Amino acid sequence: MTILSPAARRASAASLALAACFTTSPALAAASEAPATNGSGAGLDQYYEQHLGWGSCVNGRVDTTGRDLDKAGVQCADVTVPLDYAHPVGRTITVAISRLKATDTRHRIGSILLNNGGPGGPSVQSPPDVRKAMKEVGARYDIIGFDPRFVGRSTPLDCGWPVGTSWFSAGTSRAGFDRQVVLQKSLADKCRAAGASVLPHISTRNTARDMDVIRAALGERRVSYLGYSYGTYLGTVYTQMFPSRYDRVVLDGAIAPNNYRPRLLKGSERENEKALSDWAAWVAERHDTYGIGRTRAEVLATVDRVVAASTRSPLTVGVGADAFRIDDSQVPVLLFTGIGDDTEPTRAFLGEQLSVLNMAAKGAAPTMLSPKFAATLRYMLRGGGEPSGVQFAIICGDVAAPRDPQRYWRDIERNRAAHPLFGPLTNNIGPCAFWDRPREEPTQVRRDVPALIVAATGDPRTTYKGSVELHSLLPSSRLLTLEGANRHALFGRYGNACVDDAVNRYLATGKLPTKSQTCVKQAG
């Protein structure tokens, strides 16, 4: 799970089962299994047999991403899919895709589809980076990025939220939680007002159906797949719905399907506390730079003082147009976001943020923020001019959430004693509590899949135990473990040669390791 932010989008460019009375329509069921030929039946042949018009990726004068893709040799196209697979002759939408063609055509393996997670993360921009990560084997694949339905360039949804995300903490008091209830209901209402006609059709199962249309439009009988974070759930759903349509599958930072729910962060408190403690030790060694403590304990005490100060009164940081007031519903989000990666640049950025917050907590006059910190707060607190809401439109469209706010409050209070910082964040109420119920039941994993699952033992987002659980559900899979890293998403992103080489061997040969393997975090 990813709390989408400007930096995260650039880099890649966080419950209850459904009631038994909800059933899948016959037309949707027919669209859920791979057909014997490229045609799917159920009135979907026009989509499966469409011709793609490949061309430039540039979309408007200021599209620097499109220009960069063109320079890298990437082509782009739009795939037409039905809004409602139960009524395929009705309204259509487009899904934007990109392709970096194989250059070693003599040894071409096929196409590999990409998903960067989120939910709601785009991947049209990703083929050049993935080609680099795949090294020599990358030349043997057509690398396909796509923006899932209503994301990025794919008929985007914008709920018009006044904030960039709905992931907030309930804070330290009942009054703070009550404010969250009001906020989260207002965000759900805004999405309903902006996209009532499309919200029922935004779901992982429909994205998986779109993927199969993409597969057929590419002329492939089978496609390989690389998915990170939420993308592991999407990939798992695809293999269950279309069991004859996948080839090589890499799931990096996996979500256990049985734990996929609106409160995706619930259960990750210990991993986040460990990541925060490790960061505190790192920043303590750099006290001369950040001034927030000379020992791990002193840094963690500074964190507690900042949170306590933001509880008493919002902290003012920045000046002019970039002046922000940050309270105890938002400080934990900044901390949570900053510990999702244990690389030095990310740790340094969190050190910068906490240094600024610490000065504000001491009553120092605000000063100008760095452009990166200002952009982060602008997005989180004001939306930053970005489309909003699609992340939760996907989550809320997959699994029904508890409705009663009191249930969330009880969970927060039970969790607060053991996890005072992150418990009120991971257990907080969200827009899904006020969403219409999903039209389909969540996907059940009933088919084995010989996938390669990649996971770090200290992953603070989709925790390691989720990858272990998915591995147990898929007996033919193999688990590639990286020990000692507090990191979410590894292959091609973290720089661990052991992990990268193992994934690339599998993508090159199609042969999984004979048994699960372990790599170790490299020093530095």
Give 162's contacts (C-beta < 8 A, 6+ positions apart).
382, 383
Q: In 10 A of CB 319, how many CB atoms?
A: 13
User: Can you give the pLDDT at residue 40?
Assistant: 57
Q: How confident is the model at residue 35 (pLDDT cuts 50, 70, 90)?
A: very low
Q: Residue 501: how many CA atoms within 13 Å on its side-chain side?
A: 6
**Res 126 pLDDT > 80:** yes
Q: How confident is the model at residue 3 (pLDDT cuts 50, 70, 90)?
A: low
Tokens of 243: 């069991």
User: Can you give the pLDDT at residue 523?
Assistant: 72
pLDDT, one tens digit per residue, over 228-272 is 999 999 999 999 999 999 999 999 999 999 999 999 999 999 999
User: Can you give the pLDDT at residue 458?
Assistant: 96
pLDDT, one tens digit per residue, over 386-430 is 899 999 999 999 999 999 999 999 999 999 999 999 999 999 999
Q: How confident is the model at residue 140 (pLDDT cuts 50, 70, 90)?
A: very high
For the domain 46-157+198-259+447-520, what is the CATH superfamily, name and number? Answer: Alpha/Beta hydrolase fold, catalytic domain (3.40.50.1820)
Q: Are strands 315-317 and 324-326 parallel, antiparallel or unpaired?
A: antiparallel
User: Can you give the pLDDT at residue 8?
Assistant: 39
Domain ranges of the chain: 46-157+198-259+447-520
- The CA distance from 85 to 114, in Å, is 22
pLDDT, one tens digit per residue, over 173-186 is 999 999 999 999 99
Name the 3-class secondary structure at 454: strand
DSSP codes of every residue in 400-432 = -----HHHHHHHHHHHHTT-TTTHHHHT---GG
In sign, the C-alpha dihedral spanning 307, 308, 312, 313 is negative
- Cα 401-8-505 angle, rounded to 5 deg: 95
- The CA distance from 396 to 380, in Å, is 20
Q: How confident is the model at residue 216 (pLDDT cuts 50, 70, 90)?
A: very high
